A and B are shown apart, each in its own frame.
Chain A
């Protein structure tokens, strides 16, 4: 019967001939192949911490809380990012801006505490999409390894962008 895919192959198993039975030619052939790799092939390893591959353009890494053009924090602690987060990784405590802090915070309300649990975060980017103030972007590097669970809860000290140089 004709097979449906026409890919059927009849395999004959012939008895091994003399040279195949004494193994040695096949072993020598194998040895020559591995020796070729030993001598001529370059390794393909990326030596990771020293040598890094380029990220793709839409790579989502560590979050950063942005500042505006005057160096003020954009976040108003509206909580939309926390609401949108499917992994519930984001928590924040809001505070009211005091007079004299206008150069620090853009709106009257700001996040006094802003924490992301990097072990919960799935780097989906929904916080980035939810943010009405363009305050959070996942444009950082890979989140580094650490020893303790509590060290993976990143506060504002790690998340907020460095202040502008005046």
Chain B
């Protein structure tokens, strides 16, 4: 690997990092704006035209707020919590294939930071790590509400990770690969995995809602019961990091869903348009982002529609419904592969 390749990788990492931050920033704006539209309101419209500068104002506010560290909290862990949350949220996007290849001069640039052959497992690992930020933060706050939120987050993530993993196993039986790049490439044309794994996708998206702590599974932070849940004691940018990591998580899980089930960067008729390879790649990136935005929209749409689950209902759904369903999905997929192929 030459210096140029390393520089290109660095540039790619930087670009993806910036894109995830900007998208997370504007997700907060989109969330408020969409919430307003769903409720026949206007939404933020003071900062700039249509309130387009609202995220900047929010960010500035977060930075300028007083930073409070409770006396009885464990100081180090109190800071580690949000750092871990935002870090794990950011590294998830490393294995997502954003597009095919760009050829600039003699350099062939893969639009993927790294193609590890266990990409799916990597994402799972990162997602599992994500709960540590919430748990450590909640525990370090030394506050009963935070602790309850943290416990809820931990048990919820563990419960739903099982169902998520099982739904992925069925997908892996179809694709035969753990590399996200290969999974995306296999879905060329209309062979999107959603066609082969509709039930698996349903389970996956429900678990994704639970993993990102979004309504209807936002029990770790439910304002009405736990004040703010795990981030009750947090203020200033540390709170900002927690909120931010939620949106980055949402972006990454949208990207993962688009890649695993909705063809990634593939779009219909991509090779019958008669365009050069570079243009097809760029259009593919745009197609992927359209899919991601559609998923983010769906996340928000659901948030402003469905009320929160009760805790026992959440556990019921996870253990008694989704896990058996996911196992049934594996069996059905196995039967199909054995007898029909």
- Write the residues of chain A forming the contact surface with B, with a CB cutoff of 8 angstroms: 22, 27, 30-31, 33-35, 37-38, 41-45, 47
Contact = CB atoms under 8 A, between A and B. Distances in A.
A31 B36 contact: no
B38 A38 contact: yes
A22, A30, A42 interface centre (most CB from chain B within 10 Å): A30
A43 B36 contact: yes
B302 A31 contact: yes
Contacts of A31: 301-302, 305
Interface string B30-48: 0000101111111001000
Interface in B174-208: none
A33 B305 contact: yes
Contact of B37 (A22, A38, A47): A38
Contacts of B41: 43-45
B143 to A, nearest CB: 33
Contacts, number: 36
B17 interface: no
Contacts of B38: 34, 37-38
Interface centre among A31, A37, A38 (most CB of B within 10 A): A38
Nearest to A35: B301
26 contacts: A27-B302, A27-B306, A31-B301, A31-B302, A31-B305, A33-B305, A34-B38, A34-B301, A34-B305, A35-B301, A37-B37, A37-B38, A37-B39, A38-B34, A38-B37, A38-B38, A38-B301, A41-B40, A43-B36, A43-B41, A43-B42, A44-B40, A44-B41, A45-B41, A45-B42, A47-B45
B304 interface: yes
Given A31-B305, A47-B45, 11 more contacts: A27-B305, A27-B306, A30-B305, A34-B304, A34-B305, A35-B301, A37-B37, A37-B39, A38-B34, A42-B40, A43-B36
A53 B37 CA distance: 22
Contacts of B42: 43, 45, 47
Contacts of B34: 38
A44 B40 CA distance: 6
A35 B34 CA distance: 11
Interface string B283-310: 0000000000000000001101110000
Contacts of A42: 40
Interface in B112-147: none
Nearest to A45: B42
Given A27-B306, A30-B306, A43 B301 contact: no
A138 to B, nearest CB: 30
Nearest to A26: B306
Most chain A CB within 10 A, of B36, B42, B304, B305, is at B305
A48 to B, nearest CB: 11
Contacts of B39: 37
A47 B50 CA distance: 12
A36 B110 CA distance: 42
Contacts of A41: 40
A35 B302 CA distance: 10
A30 B304 CA distance: 10
Nearest to A41: B40
Interface in B3-45: 34, 36-42, 45
Nearest to A24: B202
A158 to B, nearest CB: 27
Q: Specify which of B37, B41, B45 lies most central, judged by the most chain A CB atoms within 10 Å of its CB.
A: B37
Nearest to B321: A22
Nearest to A29: B305
Contacts of A27: 302, 305-306
Contacts of A37: 37-40
Nearest to A49: B46
A89 to B, nearest CB: 32
Contacts of B301: 31, 34-35, 38
Contacts of A33: 305
Nearest to B36: A43
Interface in B304-320: 304-306
Nearest to A27: B306
